[in-house]
Amino acid sequence: MDDLTSPAMIRPFRAAGRPDPLPVPSAQLRIWFLDRLAGGAPTFNLSIVVRMQGTLDRPVLEAALADVVARHESLRTVFADVEGCPVKRVLDERQASPVLEVCRADPSELERELAVAAKRPFDLATEPPLRASLLELAEDEHVLLLLLHRIACDGWSAGPLGRDLVASYNARRRGAVPDRSQPVVRDADHFDHFPGRQRKLGDPADQNNLKTGQLAYWRTALSGLGNEIGLPFDRSRPATPSFGGDSVMFEVASEVQARLAELARRSGTTMFTVLHAGLAVLLARLTGELDIAIGTPVPGRVRDLSEDLVGHFANTVVLRTDLVGSPTFADLLQDVHAVDLAAFAHQDVPFEQVVEAVNPERVVGRHPLVQVFMTARPLEHAWGMTGLRTTAREHPFGAVEFDLGFNFDTRYAPDGTAVGIVGEARFSTDLFDRTTVETIVDRLVRVLSAVAADATLAVGDVDILSAAERETLLSGWNDTATEVCAQSVPELLEVRAAKTPDAVAVRIGAVELTYGELNARANRVARWLTRRGAGPESVVALSMPRSVDLVVAVWGTLKAGAAYCPIDPEYPAERVSFMLADCGAHIVLKEPVVADDMADTNLTNADRVTPLLPAHPCYVIYTSGSTGVPKAVVMHGAALVNLMSWYRRASEKEGWSAHRTANFSSISFDMAIMEILISTVRGGCLEMPQEEARRDLHQLVTWLAANEVNEIFVPNLVLAAIVDASRGAAGGLPRLRHVVQGGEAFRLTAELAAFRRAAPDRRLMNYYGPTETHVATAAVLPSDPDEWSAEAPIGRPIDNMRTYVLDRWLKPVPVGVPGELYIAGVQLARGYLKRAGATAARYVPDPFGEPGTRMYRTGDVVRWQADGQLMFVGRADDQLKIRGFRVEPGEVEAVLRRHEEVVQVAVVAVRERSTAAKRLVAYVVPAAATLTSAVLRRHAAEFLPHHMVPKIRLIESLPLTPNGKLDRGALPALTEEAGRPPSNPVEREVCGAFAEVLGKSVADVDQNFFSSGGHSLGALRVVHGIRRRLGVNLPVSAVFEYPTPAGIARVLGRAERVRAVNSS
C-alpha cells in the first residue's frame, strides 16, 4: 500500500517564535466551526482502542499519559469563542493532565460500553481534547480507550501518540525517567503560520504566489462539478443530520491483491491509483454518473518534526475522474494517475479555502464538493508495551462527517509478503442501512477482482452483479409468460354480444346501446368501410364528438380490420391537416355512418379486403415529438388482446368487479381504448360523461355519483381534483370502487388516503406505460394507507411483458440504483408511422431476449425495489435539477398542498430569461383570493430546504391536455422579480448582520448569504451579529437552512424577544 506520509508528501519546516494570540490554522477553523454547527454531537471524536493482554501497571499507564500530554501542547489546548471566532489557549501540564477513568466491563458488553464512552462530546472551550478510559475485562485483559477530538489530532497522529505513550510506559515500568531530551512540541499544529510555511505559500499581496496559483488550479479542476453525487441512499438526507455512523469490514483476496500490485507496476502507477480507479468505476456504475469526485486526506505535515507531532495537519484534496467514453480500465488508470499527481501537487492550499473559491451550494450535514472519501492507512498498530501484547486501532464509534468512506490496508505475512487487502467502509446511518453498504463493498470487491483479471475491460463491461442478482433482475422478475386467448379484437365484442345481447353496453345521457345493438351497428359500419376499401394496413380517421356513435365507429373500424386514428375536432386546422396527411387516412369519419342497407352480421376474413392478423394495426395515435412535430404510434391487435387477457385474469385474482366504467379519457389517449375494451370484456356499461362534465371536475364528481360509476381511469391531477371535490359530494363516492391512475407520477397524499378509507372495498391502482407500449406495469396499493410507501410504485410487468432497468452501457443495475427503463414483450407497438429513424432509435434490439426481439427505450428513470416492484424516479433526458440538486417536484407539491387554502398545485422547473438558470416554480390554484405568494413561500420554507422553496405563481386553474394531464406548455410564463426590501425591524437587523460579514450593503431580504460570497465561518459571525443586535441565540444551522434575511427573520419570529422588537 502506498505510504501517504512518504517524503514526497511531507513538507519541511523550522519552528520560529510564537505569535500572540496563537493563530488557528484553516483545518482547525473548519473543525471548530463544524463542531459548533453539530451542536455538541460527537462527530469529530476520534477513538483509538488499545487491547492489552498481560500484566498492566495502571499507575505507570496514567503517568505515561500525563507525559504525552505534557509533551504535546495540542493535547492541552482549548478554544474559546470570541464573537464567532476561536481563540486558542494552552493549559499548563497540571490543568490538562488526564484522569484515567477505570471500570470493570463484561466482555459481552464491551462494544456497548466503548460506544457510550466514545460518543461523549467535548466542550472545546474548557476541556482538553483527550480523555482516557480503561475497561478491565479480566485481571490480565484490559481495553484502553483514548478519545481525542480531531481538532487536536488527525489520522496520522496515532503513530507519534503511540510511540510516545509506549516509550514513556516502558521507561517508567523499568523504573527509569522517560527521555525528555526531545523538546516539547509547542503548539506545532499552527505550522501553516510559521515563516517557512508562509514563504512557501507566498505573500498574500503577491498575485503570482503559490496560493494564488493553486487556487486557480482548483477553480479550473472543479469547475462545473455537481453539488452531490447520486449515491443509492436508503433515506433522504435529513434537514438536521445526526452525523451517526457505522462501518463494514471487507477483504480483497491475496491473489487479487497480487494482480492489482502487478497492474500498478506494469502501468507505472501505484496501488493507491489502482484502488482509486476501481472505486471510481464502482461509483459510476452505482450512480449512472461519469463525473466522479472522491476526497482523500493528505498528511499536510512537514519534514523532520512530522514523525513526532500529534495534531491536526491533514488537508483534503479532491480527486475528480472523467469516465466519459467508457475507457478501458488500463486507460482509465493512466487518467486517474495524472489526476492524483496533479491534485497532490496542489495540496498546500487548505481545503476550506478551496471550498470558498469554488463556492458550491452549502447544505447542513453534506460535505462540500465531495461526499465519498478514500484513504490508505494501516487499520491496526502493534504497540510494544512491556509485559503486554497490544494492538491498537482507530474505531468508528458512531460518528461520520461524510456519506461514505473507504480505507484500504495491505495485510502482510511475517516475512513481509503482502497477503491481501483488508478494508473498512464507513457510512452515514442517516442515509444508509448497513445491508446496503455490505452490498456496496461486495460490489467493490467484485470490481477489483474483475479489473485485476482483465485490465482491458471497458468501464461499462465491468460486471457489478452476482449471478443470482442477474438472474433475478433479468428472468425472475420478468417471469410473466402467460397463455393468451386466441380471440381477435373484434371477437371480444362479438363474444360478449352473444352472451349478453340485452345488457347495456354504452350510455351517454339518455342515449344508450345494448351489446346486441352495438355489435349490429358496428358490423354495418365495418361493411360500409370495407366496401370503400378500408381494411388491414389502412387507416380510418375518426374526428367525431363524444357520443355512442364514436364508440360504434371505433368498433366498426376494428371489425373492418383497419386502424382508427383519433383526431380531436377541436384541434387547430393546421394540426388536423398535418395528421390527416401524415397518417394517410383512407377514410375520414366526421359524423355517424348511415349504413342501414348493410348486413348486421359479424364479418369474417372472407368479408374483409384481406385477412385480419394479430400483427395488423388497430390504432394510430399521435404523441408529442421532441422536434415539435407530432409522431404517430402504430399499435397492433395482439397487444390489445394480451392487455385484455391480463386484465381479466388480474380482475378474477384480485376480486375486482365493476359494472359501470367511466369513459373519461379522450379518444386521442390510448387509455380510451382500454376503457372501451374492459367494459366489453366484463360485460359492463361504458358510461360516457358529457364534455362539460369532463372539463369541470365538480360536475364530473356529480356525474360519477349520479351514474353510480364503479371504475375510472384518470391521471394524477384529475384524481387529486376528484378527491378534493368529492369530500362533500355523495358521501365521498362510495360506489367508485376501482380507481386507476395512469399517465402521470402518482402522488400519495393524506387526502387520497382518506378517500381510500371512505370506501372499505375501494382499490387504488397505478398503471404505467407510454403510448409506445400501452400498459406495461401495474401496482395495486395496499388496502390500508398506513402501509403505503412514501411514493407509489409503478409495479411489476404485466403478462407477457418484460422490464429492464439499465445503465448507460445497457447493463442491468442493482436493486435500489436508478437506471433507464426499457420495456420488451408482446405489447410493444410496431413503431412510429413513416419514421424509420425514430423507430430505430427508440425500439432497439433486446440483448436479453430471443434473437430478433426488441425493447423500447422509455427515457424514464426508475429503480427496482427489494420486493420486485419498480419505482418511478424521473426523466432521463430532462431530470429536474436546481443549482445542482436533484429535486423531486412531488415533495414540494405535497408540502404546498398541506396549506388549507391550496386547491391544486403543479411544480415545474423554468429557465429564467436573465440568467438561463433553472428556477423551481409552483403554479397554485388558491381556494380564495386572499392567499398570497408570500404566505405560501413562508409556508414552504417551514418544511423545505432553501433550494427547494419555489417561486409561487397563483393561477385560476391548471391547464390540462385533452387527456387530463398537466399541459406544461400552457402554463403562464415566469416573470422577473425585483428584490424585496426589509418589511420589519427584524429583517432590517438581519440584513445589517449580513452586511457586516459580507462587507457590502444588503437591501434584499431574499438575498442568499452564500451566493453573495459568505462562507461557513462567516455564518457563525452572522449568528453572533444577530445575538448582539437582537439578544437572541440563533443556531448556526439556521443560516444554512434559511440563508436569506427573510428566512432567518421567520425563524427568529418565534422568539418572544424578537416579536417585541417587531411590535415596537
How far, in Å, CA of 737 to CA of 735, rounded?
6
pLDDT in tens, 715-752: 888 898 889 888 765 467 889 999 999 988 888 988 89
Return mean pLDDT, the chain.
87
| Residues in the chain, overall count | 1064
CATH of domain 216-381+398-464: 3.30.559.30
Max Cα distance, the chain (Å): 123
Q: Residues 78, 127: contact at Cβ < 8 Å?
A: yes
pLDDT at 154: 87
- Lowest mean pLDDT segment, chosen from 578-587, 944-953, 978-987, 1039-1048: 944-953
Query: What ranges do the domains of the chain cover?
Result: 26-182, 216-381+398-464, 656-876, 880-954, 985-1062
- Lowest mean pLDDT segment, chosen from 634-648, 871-885, 933-947: 871-885
Q: Residues 173, 187: contact at Cβ < 8 Å?
A: no
pLDDT at 404: 97
pLDDT at 884: 43
How far, in Å, CA of 564 to CA of 566, rounded?
6
Q: Amino acid identity of 427?
A: F
Does pLDDT of 553 surpass 60? yes
pLDDT at 67: 93
Cβ neighbors of 650 (< 8 A, separation 6 or more) are 656, 778, 798
- Report which secondary-structure segment, H or E, holds 298: strand 291-298
pLDDT at 1057: 55
3-state secondary structure of 410: strand
Q: Residues 723, 716: contact at Cβ < 8 Å?
A: no
3-state secondary structure 473-486: HHCHHHCCCCCCCC
DSSP secondary structure string for all residues of 709-777: --EEEE-HHHHHHHHHHGGGSGGG-TT--EEEEESS-----HHHHHHHHTSTT-EEEEEE--TTTS--E
pLDDT in tens, 458-471: 999 999 999 999 99
How far, in Å, CA of 821 to CA of 861, rounded?
6
- Report which secondary-structure segment, H or E, holds 811: none
pLDDT in tens, 678-724: 999 989 999 999 988 888 888 999 999 999 999 999 988 889 888 98
CB atoms within 10 A of CB 474: 16
Q: Residues 909, 923: contact at Cβ < 8 Å?
A: no
Residue written as grid cell 379486403: 609
Please state whether beta strands 777-780 and 315-322 pair in parallel, antiparallel, or not at all (unpaired): unpaired
How far, in Å, CA of 270 to CA of 258, rounded?
13
Class of domain 656-876 (CATH, top level)? alpha beta
Angle of helix 158-173 relative to helix 58-71, nearest 10 degrees, comes to 130
Does pLDDT of 41 surpass 50? yes
pLDDT at 724: 85
pLDDT band at 888 (very low <50, low <70, confident <90, very high): low
3-state secondary structure of 234: coil
How far, in Å, CA of 904 to CA of 911, rounded?
22
How far, in Å, CA of 320 to CA of 745, rounded?
35
pLDDT at 191: 46
- 1027 Cα distance to chain centroid: 37
pLDDT at 1027: 87
Exposure letters 785-812 (e unless 16+ CB within 10 A, then b): beebeebbbbbbbbbbbbbbbbbbebbb
Q: How many secondary structure helices (H) and strands (E) does the chain include?
A: 31, 39
Average pLDDT over every residue of 820-831 = 97
How far, in Å, CA of 107 to CA of 100, rounded?
20
Query: 216-381+398-464: same fold as 26-182?
Result: yes
3-state secondary structure of 857: strand
Average pLDDT over every residue of 72-77 = 92
pLDDT in tens, 647-681: 999 888 877 776 899 999 989 889 999 999 999 99
Average pLDDT over every residue of 258-269 = 97
- In the chain, the percentage of residues whose pLDDT exceeds 90 is 56
Does pLDDT of 354 surpass 50? yes
CATH of domain 880-954: 3.30.300.30
Q: Amino acid identity of 291?
A: D
CATH of domain 985-1062: 1.10.1200.10
Of 626 and 604, the structure prediction assigns the larger pLDDT to 604
Cβ neighbors of 8 (< 8 A, separation 6 or more) are none
26-182 is a CATH 3.40.50.300 domain: no
Question: For 561-669, where are the alpha helices, taking DSSP H only?
Answer: 573-583, 637-654
Does pLDDT of 406 surpass 90? yes
Cβ neighbors of 86 (< 8 A, separation 6 or more) are 24, 28, 29, 32, 79, 80, 124
pLDDT in tens, 767-817: 999 999 999 999 999 999 999 987 899 999 999 999 999 999 999 999 999
Task: Please report, in angstroms and rounded to a whole number, the separation of the first and last CA atoms in the chain.
Answer: 67
- Report which secondary-structure segment, H or E, holds 74: none
- In the chain, the percentage of residues whose pLDDT exceeds 70 is 89
- Lowest mean pLDDT segment, chosen from 13-17, 132-136, 281-285: 13-17
pLDDT at 13: 40
Q: Residues 422, 409: contact at Cβ < 8 Å?
A: yes
pLDDT in tens, 7-40: 333 333 444 556 667 888 877 888 888 888 777 6
DSSP secondary structure string for all residues of 328-366: BHHHHHHHHHHHHHHHHHT--S-HHHHHHHH-PPP-TTS
DSSP secondary structure string for all residues of 416-458: S-EEEEEEEEEEETTT--HHHHHHHHHHHHHHHHHHHH-TT-B
pLDDT band at 515 (very low <50, low <70, confident <90, very high): very high
| Dihedral sign from CA coordinates of 749, 753, 758, 762 | positive
- Report which secondary-structure segment, H or E, holds 48: strand 45-54
3-state secondary structure of 245: strand
Angle of helix 1016-1030 relative to helix 26-38, nearest 10 degrees, comes to 50
pLDDT at 1061: 56
Of 596 and 344, the structure prediction assigns the larger pLDDT to 344
Residue 596: φ, ψ to 5°: -65, -20
**pTM reported for the whole predicted model:** 0.80
CA angle 529, 642, 545 (to 5 degrees): 40
pLDDT at 130: 95
CA angle 699, 701, 707 (to 5 degrees): 100
pLDDT in tens, 527-552: 999 999 999 999 999 999 999 999 99
Contacts of 490-497 with CB under 8 Å at 24 or more apart are 490/526, 490/555, 490/558, 490/559, 490/602, 490/603, 490/612, 492/641, 492/644, 492/677, 492/680, 492/681, 493/518, 493/519, 493/522, 493/555, 493/559, 493/680, 494/519, 494/602, 496/680, 496/681, 496/683
pLDDT at 871: 95
